[in-house]
Structure 1
């Protein structure tokens, strides 16, 4: 039984997709539609579609695996699977993310997002002390303006709110 499952490890991916699909559908069906609907498509439509598609993909994947289909290793990757994980990079990325989470309510998204973008660039190896913070600030302000002004998703502006 153990060898049978090992040869069909993609069934685990299928099981995860089933769990996610059921979770999405369960949450979608609990959405309250007490508020005014703007158009023929309500707030449940997209989550129900996504949950249903997750279940369909899970079934198709399981059927393919049970019929002998196997996923192929990607040939173009230049990754040494025997090399140990780069925990320094992982921890630096986690630190940048946690700094963003801690700062967003205090200094607003434009500043905390700049810390996140610059921290991610630094963690991934970029060391340009002039270019990196400028690009991080530009990305953060652009992201803030797109979400806050164009999409109508309010983000905390912090002290820069009057400027932006």
Structure 2
């Protein structure tokens, strides 16, 4: 009698193990619903400047996430399996590099905290430079300059060309 109760659960576990990619489908589905819900409940200014409003991209991304979730689920249920890339150079037997992960998380949080008081150009430059440092670059003569130029160009593109206001900080009054 105990063998009968164990067989269905063992079969269910085997089926779930063989179809574990359905978890990714569920995540994509939930994310798509979240993005669509947020886009549809967005408070939009009705005096927009062009045919494409602020809801367009979130609606396209949310719809795309739903379509991908459904297509992936159909593929998984038909027997499709994800395969590891042959050229992948990650050694799964090595432990995770938590120092780098912690440094990147700290740099990201630091930039998020600094963006309002220091402005996007300063916070962005520290983010770009800190990420390069955390990932192993030790070119102290080149990396800060690249980070500053990249941050200023990003600021200019978003603030001036795209019309997305970013905090300029105290340096923008000087420049």
- TM-score (structure 2 length as normaliser): 0.85
Is 2:99 the partner of 1:88? yes
**CA distance 1:117–1:61, change in 2 (3 Å):** same
Q: Which runs of 5+ in 2 are unaligned?
A: 1-11
- TM-score (structure 1 length as normaliser): 0.90
Q: Which runs of 5+ in 1 are unaligned?
A: none
**CA distance 1:138–1:49, change in 2 (3 Å):** closer
CA offsets per residue over residues 4-44 of structure 1, 9 Å max, x none?
11111111111111111222222232234552244445444
3-state SS of the aligned residue for 2:28?
helix
Is 2:71 the partner of 1:52? no
Cα distance in 1 between the residues matched to 2:65 and 2:162: 27
RMSD of aligned Cα (Å): 1.7
**Map of 1:73 onto structure 2:** 84
Runs of 4+ aligned residues of structure 1 deviating over 6 Å after TM superposition are none
Residues matched between the structures, number: 164
**Map of 1:135 onto structure 2:** 146
CA offsets per residue over residues 35-80 of structure 1, 9 Å max, x none?
2244445444443333222222211111111111111111111110
Deviation at 1:115, TM superposition (A): 1.0
Q: Which has the larger radius of gyration?
A: 2
